Amino acid sequence: MFRTVITAGVIALPLVTAAPALAGPGTVSCSFPCTIVGQTLNNYAGLPAATIGGPNGYAAFIPNTIGNYGALPSTTLGNYATFLPTTLDNYANLPGTTLGNYAAFPGTTASNYANLPSTTLHNVFPGLH
């Protein structure tokens, strides 16, 4: 077990030390722990401004809420105005659609059974044409 740990360390050490250089273009100012600490401190420093400002911050909460309540009646009426005709159309088309589906059922079923071997082969061996 001790040899495994040493071997893993010997293999991993060059990767860990080369990681900042492999990360991409730009200058690398510090290594992994230093970057996390710096990013965490920056995020904490920016937290009050991000909480108060921004499109979804506390400052925008009241105008967004008022705007949403203001748009609620027209949005609701618009949804209901679309809902009723769509529902009536769907009910009016139901018998014809149902009869069409029943009429197409035997042909569709026969076609699906006829295509089953080739479809199965294509799905199992996608590169085979």
Model pLDDT, residue 31: 64
| pLDDT exceeds 90 at position 24 | no
pLDDT of residue 116: 95
pLDDT computed for residue 6 by the predictor: 54
Give the C-alpha separation, 60 to 57, whole Å. 5
pLDDT given at position 52: 85
Q: Residue 35 class from Cβ within 10 Å (0-12 exposed, 13-18 middle, 19+ buried)? A: middle
**Cβ neighbour number for residue 64 with a 10 Å cutoff:** 13
**pTM, rounded to two decimals:** 0.35
Summarised one tens digit per residue, pLDDT across range 36-88 is 888 888 888 888 888 888 777 888 888 889 999 999 999 999 999 999 999 99
